[in-house]
Amino acid sequence: MFIRRLLLLLAVMAAPMVALTMQLYRLTVVRGDELRAEAEQRLVRRQWTPTVRGTILDRKGRILAQERPSYDIAVDYRVLTGVWVRDRALRAARRSVGAGWVELKAEARDSLVDRYLPVYEAHLERAWDRIALTAGIPREELERRKSAIVTEIERRHADIAQRRRGAEIEAARARGDALTDAQLRQIDRRAAQPIAEQRAPHVVAARVGDSVGFAFQLLVGEEAELELPERDTAGMDVVDRVELLPGLQVWDGGDRDYPLETVTVEIDRSSFPGLLRAAATQKVTVDGVGLHMLGRFRDRVYREDAAAREGYLEEHPAVKAAAFASGVDRGAYRDGDRIGETGLEKAQEHHLRGLRGMRTRRLDTGEEEVLEPVAGRDVQLTVDAMLQARVQALMSPEVGLSIVQPWHGQESDTQPPGTALNGAAVVLDIDTGDIIAMVSTPTYSRDQLINNPDSIFEDRVNLPFINRAVSKPYPPGSIIKALVLAGAIDRGNYSTAQRIACTGHAFPNNPEMFRCWIYKRYSTTHSVTFGNDLDGSDAICASCNVFFFQLGRRLGVDGITEVYREFGVGERWGLGIGDFEFPGTIGADNDPSKLAVGDAMQMAIGQGPVAWTPLHAADAYATLARGGVRMTPRIVMGRERSEPVDLGLDPRGIAMAMDGLYRAVNDDRHSTGHHITFEAGREKIFNVPGVRVWGKTGTAEAPDLRIDPDGDGPQPPVTVKKGDHSWFVVLAGRDRPRYAIAVVIDYGGSGGKVSGPITNQIIHALIAEGYL
């Protein structure tokens, strides 16, 4: 029996060996290759080397934005304060006793921690020396910076704790709670919780150059083995692997230089209107040139950014193949990366970004394989930076064209004379569809962005961060009339031989509605001033509302909607300078189906439920100038866009519209855009010798700008701006129209008086830059 039982025991003892053998077979044979590869992978270390973001150029090859390799060397706050030392020592002490830790008395713990402190203190000391040496700054300077950071963050923490505490006590009082000591202590504890800055790295060496940054890059993630004052069960020295330079981060600061961010231009004021005219030239310095288009960055990368990159790579297999050449995406976002947040930097992010280089090092042999970084691709804009600067200068308040002037005739209590006016201007090359200037005022500067962002983002009245040229909806106003005329003739709703009477108001028995401006202001009609009824050309020249009310009625909702659509309302251009392209809308929620014929009549004079942007205006006029051929405007050179489309408009309609536009700025009797009357006499608006101008004024009624000072609070909104938006759109050229220029001034009033002189000066600017 005993022998039997021994055999039984042997069997029982051997049984686990069967399972172990099977598992051994599984690991070594079935998964052997896979696990071998995994283990080998650990012999390899990868390090990234930075790439260079692409340069942004203007149409003449001037550099607008260029990468200056630069890095910020940041160190974790806990390392800065030295808390890291205690953390590590505590961790080592805990690890040495494991679960028994909880049973130790506080003193026992402290004495255990104290054993480990010197190891980490010495290591950190060495690390700081190394950082100072690598960064090329004296150790004392580094200490000074460290303490400056810590002092600042602690001050901020104290402030915030104070505020949190105050708010909590306030809230408790408001609830009518009496606070016990225990509750107060709890509040104190909550208030004293660390702030985000206390968990984040802080820059100890800002904007260091290429070689220093690279030297640091190589040190990131390097480890050091610290010998701890203990031995393990086998009597081996216990080592703790820590970062060589604890908490070190190298931020690819990639300083972007903007050589044309600030430009000084000389303005010749001899062609200025009225009292603004002067013999001497004026030097005007403008900041933030093209900033709306170029855009800005943010330092934080979100998950959406990675998803966006993936989407882009899926659509561009060739780019993807290049990015993954070494098995991992070398263009992938990593912490500390900058990413375009707005404008071109955002829209062209993937184009500009480039691929990192990679250094692969075999730890056992020291072999290195270097994959060079691929610089980001350059982007060239169609914009002429100097023209852009000039237009921006012309629209800056100090020049005087963009502030409320007494002769503007603006009767608005919200904007007394001298008030700066906001607006936008677009200059479009008719032959190519290239945008050669696009200005939105007020502009902001990169300096403001860094030092006083509130002045940009908290300005709810002027919205400096908006690119009005493409983002802000405006009622088109009278500038639409030329397009409506061409559309009506094309559809047979009006023939060039017809004349329509201006009766002052569209409905004979209702003088309160659908009135002509001339009736409103002078109680007369265009039929009287012309001495006969009007044809289409007359109607554009004099901007007769009644004529166009009739066309609107004839076109109906469908017809007028078609006209607007034909000229580009409701479509985004896909310029590639950000998401904020307002496509233009017809009807509430861009749904024309609920509109009535009254709406169609309003839309025929550019009022009612319709909105577009200055770029729409310039684009539509360029289409007209091309004889009805639409070309998608372009701001990024070489960007794919749809082929030009010939709308097939009736040439008679286009000819009549162009004739009307010519007369609207050249007819000295009837037109609205020919001259401004000053006390000293009339002055022609357009005074560039040898340049022919076609154009149309617009004085578009707009809702008052009201700002609710306390959000949705009890106070009523305050009206901050009143009046009409001032439009002027022209086509200019020596022989034929070459450039389309659209100018709008928010709440500026009269199109002719306010936008007219600016438009005229833009033509002068085109000449100064060699365009006309």
Partner 1 sequence: MATAEGSGDWGLVRLVTGAVDTARRGGFAWLAVGAAMALSLIGIYSIDVATQLEPTGLQELSGPALRQLIYLAVGLIACITVAIPNYRVYGYASGVLFAIGVVLLIFLLIPFVPTSIVRPRNGARAWIDLGPMDFQPSEVAKIGYVLLLAWYLRFRKNHRTIGGLLPPAIITGIPVALITLQPDLGQAALFIPALFAVLVAAGAKLKHLTVIVLIATMAAPAAYPILKPHQKERFVGLIKQFTGDESSSQDINFQSVGAQRLAGAGGVEGVGDEHARVLLHFNALPERHNDMIYAVIVNRFGLVGGLAVLGLYLVWFIGALGTAAACREPFGRLICVGLTGFIAAQVAINVGMNLGLAPIIGITLPFVSNGGSSMVTVWIMCGLILNVALHRPSYSLRKSFEYGDDE
The contact set with partner 1 (CB under 8 A) reads: 1-3, 5-6, 8-10, 13-14, 16-17, 19-21, 23-25, 27-29, 31-36, 38-40, 42-43, 96-101, 103, 108, 112, 230, 232-236, 241, 363-364
CB of 43 to partner 1, least distance (A): 5
Identify the three-state secondary structure at position 400.
Answer: coil
CB of 154 to partner 1, least distance (A): 33
CB of 222 to partner 1, least distance (A): 14
Q: Which is nearer to partner 1, 43 or 278 (CB)?
A: 43
Stretch (H or E) spanning 34 = helix 32-41
CA dist., res. 622 & res. 612, Å (int): 15
Q: Which is nearer to partner 1, 1 or 279 (CB)?
A: 1
Question: Which candidate, 383, 439, 430, 349, places its Cα nearest to that of 731?
Answer: 430
Residue type, 179: L
Q: Count Cβ atoms below 10 Å from residue 759 Cβ, excluding itself.
A: 30
CB of 229 to partner 1, least distance (A): 11
CA dist., res. 53 & res. 229, Å (int): 48
Tokens of 762: 């833009």
Tokens of 327: 């098995």
Q: Which is nearer to partner 1, 8 or 370 (CB)?
A: 8
Judge contact between 738 and 732, C-beta under 8 A: yes
Taking each helix axis from N to C terminus, what angle separates 614-625 and 651-666, rounded to the nearest 10 degrees?
120
CB of 356 to partner 1, least distance (A): 24
CB of 112 to partner 1, least distance (A): 7
Would you give the distance in Å from CA 9 to the centre of its chain? 78
CA dist., res. 764 & res. 687, Å (int): 9
CB of 381 to partner 1, least distance (A): 47
Residue type, 719: T
CB neighbours of 753 closer than 8 A, spacing ≥ 6? 407, 408, 409, 676, 726
Q: Which is nearer to partner 1, 364 or 512 (CB)?
A: 364
CB of 227 to partner 1, least distance (A): 13
Q: Which is nearer to partner 1, 236 or 497 (CB)?
A: 236
CB of 94 to partner 1, least distance (A): 9
Q: Which is nearer to partner 1, 13 or 178 (CB)?
A: 13
CB of 243 to partner 1, least distance (A): 15
Kind of pairing between the strands at 56-57 and 63-68: antiparallel
Question: Which candidate, 358, 369, 131, places its Cα nearest to that of 250?
Answer: 131
CB neighbours of 432 closer than 8 A, spacing ≥ 6? 382, 631, 634
Q: Which is nearer to partner 1, 4 or 175 (CB)?
A: 4
Identify the three-state secondary structure at position 44.
Answer: strand
Peptide bond between residue 442 and the one before it cis (omega within 30 degrees of 0): yes
Q: Which is nearer to partner 1, 39 or 450 (CB)?
A: 39
Q: Which is nearer to partner 1, 34 or 335 (CB)?
A: 34
CA dist., res. 466 & res. 374, Å (int): 34
